[in-house]
């Protein structure tokens, strides 16, 4: 992946990823804690559970996370001089992200 493409992916996925991650944290706490539910201001417990367990939200979060992490790893790997170390890092991150996507997307079946 070219550095410019990787940088654009990191930039464009950062805000939606931040929003979705925050939403998952808030809805997760609101689903389990009365105090967090009151503090969330706009959520009911049913709405929090529906959002938190939504397959669409989970899939979108997983895809954004994958793109952001992979592109960020490519940018970081450019700074590593040793080719073997760079390649190992890229494959480890890729393998881990595939595992995370698997859990997010297939775990609900």
- For residue range 70-97, what is the model confidence (pLDDT) as tens digits? 899 889 888 888 999 989 998 998 899 8
Q: May I ask the CATH class of domain 3-106?
A: mainly alpha
Please calculate the CA angle 17-63-88 and round it to the nearest 5 degrees. Answer: 100
* Spans of all domains in the chain: 3-106
Alpha carbon 19 to its chain centroid, in Å, reads 10
pLDDT recorded at residue 85: 92
Summarised one tens digit per residue, pLDDT across range 10-69 is: 999 999 999 999 999 999 988 888 888 888 778 888 889 999 989 899 889 989 998 999
Residue 37 to residues 23, 44, 82, 93, 98, Cα–Cα distance (Å): 13, 7, 50, 35, 33
Q: For the chain, what is the mean pLDDT?
A: 88
pLDDT recorded at residue 8: 93
Summarised one tens digit per residue, pLDDT across range 37-51 is: 888 778 888 889 999
DSSP state of 42: S
Residue 97 to residues 16, 26, 46, 69, 102, Cα–Cα distance (Å): 18, 23, 30, 8, 8
Report pTM. Answer: 0.79
pLDDT recorded at residue 17: 96
Cβ partners under 8 Å of residue 64, min gap 6: 13, 16, 17, 20
Helix residue spans in the chain (DSSP H): 3-32, 34-39, 45-52, 55-77, 83-106
């Amino acid at each position: 992946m070219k550095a410019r493409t990787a940088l654009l992916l990191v930039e464009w996925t950062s805000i939606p990823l931040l929003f979705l991650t925050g939403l998952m944290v808030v809805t997760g706490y609101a689903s389990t804690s009365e105090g967090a539910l009151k503090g969330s201001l706009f959520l009911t417990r049913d709405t929090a559970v529906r959002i938190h367990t939504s397959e669409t939200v989970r899939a979108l979060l997983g895809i954004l996370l994958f793109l952001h992490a992979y592109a960020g790893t490519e940018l970081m790997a450019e700074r590593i001089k040793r080719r073997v170390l760079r390649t190992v890092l890229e494959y480890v991150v890729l393998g881990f992200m595939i595992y995370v996507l698997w859990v997010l997307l297939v775990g609900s079946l």
